[in-house]
Amino acid sequence: MARALDPALCDALAERMRFYRDLGLTDFYRRAAEAPGSIESCAESHPAPASVSAGETQSAAAPSQGSFFGEEPAPSARRPSSVFSTALPVIPAAERVAALESIRDDIGDCTRCALHKGRNRIVFADGSATARLMFVGEGPGADEDAQGLPFVGRAGQLLNNMIAAMGLKREEVYIANVVKCRPPNNRTPEPAEANTCSPFLFRQIDVVRPEVLVALGATAATYLLGQRQPLAALRGRVHSFRGAKLIVTYHPAFLLRDPRQKKEAWADLQIAMRELGLKPAARA
Ligand code: SF4
C-alpha cells in the first residue's frame, strides 16, 4: 500500500517532476513511481500553475531587442573581458569569503543609483565563494527584496531544479544579479543603474573565479558580454568573460511563462555541464 508523503515534500517532488517532464526526462518518473509512497500522485494532484505572478514576469521577459544600454555602452563593452581575465590575481580559496565580504562592505547602504529608493534589502548574492559554476540574473524581485537573497521566489525554485538537474546543489554554486536592488515593478534596470551596479558583480566574479558563468536572460547576457543582441543569437555557444566560459540561457521567470522553452534551456545547461565535466543528476 502506498505510503502518504509529507505535503511539503509532495509539493517539492511535484515541482521537480514537472521540471524533468518538461525537459523530456520522462524515464525519471517511471522509476520514481516504483518507489514507496505516492510520488506520482503528487504531480497529478499539483497541476502546473497557469501563470507567473506579476512580480516575476517583467524583468525576465522574453528575450527582446529592447534598449539595454540607452546611449551609453555597458561597462563590459567598454572593457574587453580579455583585458581582465589574465591580469587579475587568483584569490586563494580560504580568503574568498572575506574578499566577498569586503565587496559587500564597499556597497554599504548604497545610494549610488536610483534603485535604492524603492528597495527593502540589498540582494548581494548566495552560494559558495569557491563555486565552479556561477549564475547571473537581472535583479531582485519582490521575494528577493524581502529576504535579501537572490532567486528565492518561484523563479528561484525553478533555478534550484535546474541546478539539481545538473547534479549540483544550490549551495555549491554562486548566484548574483546585475543590479542588487529591486527595480520598481520589476522593470528592466535602466542603463545608468546597471552600469553603476555591475562593477560590484564583476568584482564578485573576479573573487569567485567560476569556471563557467551562466547568464540568465537577456539583461545578464547583455551586461556581461557587452553585446546588445537577441538572446537567440547568443545562446548555443561558449563565450568568455573575465576568464570564465560564459553560457547564455533563458531566465527562469521566462521559463515559467513559457515552459516550452525549458528544453532549450536544458540544452544550454548541458553545454555548461560539458564544460564542467558534469553528468546529469542520477535518476531515482
Ligand atoms: S542597485 Fe546597486 S548601485 Fe544601485 S543602489 Fe542598489 S546596490 Fe547601489
Q: Which of 105, 109, 110, 219 to mutate to test the pocket of ligand 1 (most atoms within 8 A of CB)?
A: 110
Ramachandran quadrant class, 108 (left: phi over 0; alpha: psi -120 to 50; beta: rest): left
Whether 284 maps to a domain, the answer reads no
**Rounded mean pLDDT, 252-268:** 97
**Exposed e or buried b for every residue in 38-63, given b needs 16+ CB within 10 A?**
bbbbbbeebeeeeebbebbbbbbbeb
38 with 128, same domain: the answer is no
What is the rounded distance in angstroms from the CA atom of residue 221 to the CA atom of residue 244? Answer: 14
Cell numbers at 48, concatenated: 502546473
Q: Which of 106, 113, 187, 188 to mutate to test the pocket of ligand 1 (most atoms within 8 A of CB)?
A: 113
158 with 227, same domain: the answer is yes
Residues with CB under 6 A from ligand 1: 107, 110-113, 115-116, 122, 179-181, 193, 196-197
Compute the distance from residue 123 Cα to the ligand 1 centre, in Å.
9
- pLDDT tens per residue, range 41-60: 444 444 433 333 333 333 43
Closest-CA residue, ligand 1 atom 6, reads 181
- pLDDT tens per residue, range 70-120: 334 344 444 434 334 445 788 999 999 999 999 999 999 999 999 999 999
The atom number, within ligand 1, closest to the CA of 119 reads 6
Whether 124 maps to a domain, the answer reads yes
Residue span of the structural domain in which 160 resides: 52-276
161 with 25, same domain: the answer is no
131 with 13, same domain: the answer is no
Q: How many domains does the chain have?
A: 2
Contact 258, 62 (CB under 8 A): yes
What is the rounded distance in angstroms from the CA atom of residue 131 to the CA atom of residue 280? Answer: 18
Compute the distance from residue 51 Cα to the ligand 1 centre, in Å.
30
Q: Residue 19's pLDDT band (boundaries 50, 70, 90)?
A: low
Q: What is the model's pTM?
A: 0.75
165 with 216, same domain: the answer is yes
**Residue whose C-alpha is closest to residue 241's, from 68, 75, 74, 84:** 84
Whether 41 maps to a domain, the answer reads yes
134 with 253, same domain: the answer is yes
225 with 241, same domain: the answer is yes
**Rounded mean pLDDT, 174-183:** 98
What is the rounded distance in angstroms from the CA atom of residue 273 to the CA atom of residue 24? Answer: 17
pLDDT of residue 57: 35
pLDDT of residue 224: 97
CA atoms within 13 A on the CB side of 198: 27
Compute the distance from residue 190 Cα to the ligand 1 centre, in Å.
12
133 with 225, same domain: the answer is yes
Higher-pLDDT residue of 199 and 54 is: 199
Compute the distance from residue 112 Cα to the ligand 1 centre, in Å.
6
Closest-CA residue, ligand 1 atom 8, reads 110
Compute the distance from residue 116 Cα to the ligand 1 centre, in Å.
6
What is the amino acid identity at position 242? R
